[in-house]
Amino acid sequence: MSLHVKDSTFDHADTNKKKIHIILILALPAVIENFFQTILGFIDTYFVSKIGLVEVSAVGVTNAVLAIYFALFMALGVAVNIYVANSIGAKQVERARHIAQQAIIIAIVIGIVTGIITLFFAEPLLTLMGIEDDVLQAGSTYFRIVAIPSIFMSLMFVLSAILRGVGDTKSPMKISIMINIVNAVLDYVFIFGFWFIPELGIIGAAIATVISRILGTIGLLMYIRKTKEIKFKKSYWKPDKDHLVELLSLGGPAAGERLIMRIGQIVYFGFVVALGTNVFAAHQIAGNIEIFSYMVGYGFATAATIIVGQLLGAGNIKEAKQYAWLCVWLSVGSMTVLGVLLFFLGSWTGSFFTQDQDVINDISIALKVSGIFQPFLAVVLILTGVFQGAGNTKFPMYLTGFGMWLIRTSFVYLLTVQVGWGLLGVWIAIGLDIIFRAVVLLVQFSRDKWRVQKADESVSSGDDCHPQTSKEDISICTNSY
């Protein structure tokens, strides 16, 4: 079903109530999906922590490198999400279908390339982290198993983005729930052994993750085949230069933003690793706990990107901005509550992963600092999604580069190496970067410098352009919730 938002409701008393309803329809499935995606990493870390802290560090450094791959996959997902949403908003269904299929082609190519890189360069990539030999041995094995079949990771990001672009956040949610249940069961079976299956340890965790991603890819493809907006056509599988350039030009800055973030993380992770394996394990565990707060922010960011993309595609700038502000405040309120929980429950949650009191204390310190900057993180997540939904992927890239390298990495070095604050200094530096980016994004958005061009220019060409003759009935294409 589709929900309709009319310009005339701006003067109605329950305008914001209706808008919040639409936001929640899109955001809640995305929040639930993010929750189960987070559970996947949480369960991996929990089960692996029962093997030892070396294995926790191995998974942590592997995920830090994998985050670079994810940056590429997510950037392509951002681009196809925006173009599909814009096209649907402008009633250019054929264009949306064509771009979706071209994005799948790119996803396959990127997935194959990253898999080949992993096959030949696993150890050198992990060595960049400055890890100890025992961690390198476990990490390289885990890395190869998880990342050689990168094509499934790439396809999952892009297929989910296509579904969200047409307003369907429920199907990715269902798939996420399914694969995380499968992953949890397989984690236990393969890590610890069951019946005729031997105990595989960290290798078992990797195998469980790969099987889950394969099933997730198949499930997402099945949902896309059922989507009326996206019907695959044989002729659309032929590479189209114009659409490929569109996707790469929009996805390039988004990829740059994430690559800057991930490469910066690798650099300051080196400072954390230098503090010792146990400290890095505490940092990794704290990160896996803190990421639960991200699920709310990313959920509202998903809603903001979809709504802003579709409304700008339909030519309604004023309403797009109102939705964006509502997404910001809803996210800030929700993540503030989560920040309070992180602040007071850090030691308790850390005790689930280890009985080492020093590690638990470090986890608690990290989560207390994290809890304080959660409202600012909410602003960063939502407004980044808004800027991207408006086709402005360059500004978030520049801002992330400045914040990561001149604030976060610099202060990590200053506070940990020079001042000697240890893990406390690392998380304070992270908080300073987030606060800086939140303030800059708010200023730019308030000054109406969040779009790079008019909405109708962003979808001015396509396979079935139909000019908008009226703004009185703007369709936000969503599935019923």
In a domain, 13, yes or no: no
Structure token pair of residue 427: 């998380």
Integer Cα distance of 476 and 458 in angstroms: 18
In a domain, 478, yes or no: no
In a domain, 476, yes or no: no
In a domain, 195, yes or no: yes
The per-residue pLDDT for 115 is: 92
Per-10-residue mean pLDDT, the chain, length 481? 36 63 82 69 70 73 78 80 76 78 88 91 76 73 87 90 82 85 85 79 85 92 81 69 70 68 71 78 80 81 83 82 90 92 84 80 89 93 87 83 86 85 89 94 90 49 34 32 28
3-state secondary structure of 71: helix
In a domain, 82, yes or no: yes
Which of 475, 479, 476, 389 has its CA nearest to residue 174?
A: 479
In a domain, 2, yes or no: no
In contact, 149 and 210? CB cutoff 8 Å = yes
Q: How many domains does the chain have?
A: 1
Interacting residues of 404 by C-beta distance below 8 A, sequence separation 6+: 260, 261, 264, 265, 433
The per-residue pLDDT for 131 is: 64
In a domain, 117, yes or no: yes
**What is the span of the domain harbouring residue 113?**
21-466
Torsion angle in degrees (nearest 10) through CA of 216, 221, 227, 232: 160
The per-residue pLDDT for 439 is: 95
In a domain, 7, yes or no: no
Please state, as a whole number, how many other Cβ atoms lie within 10 Å of the Cβ of residue 215. 16
Q: Which H or E run contains 167?
A: none
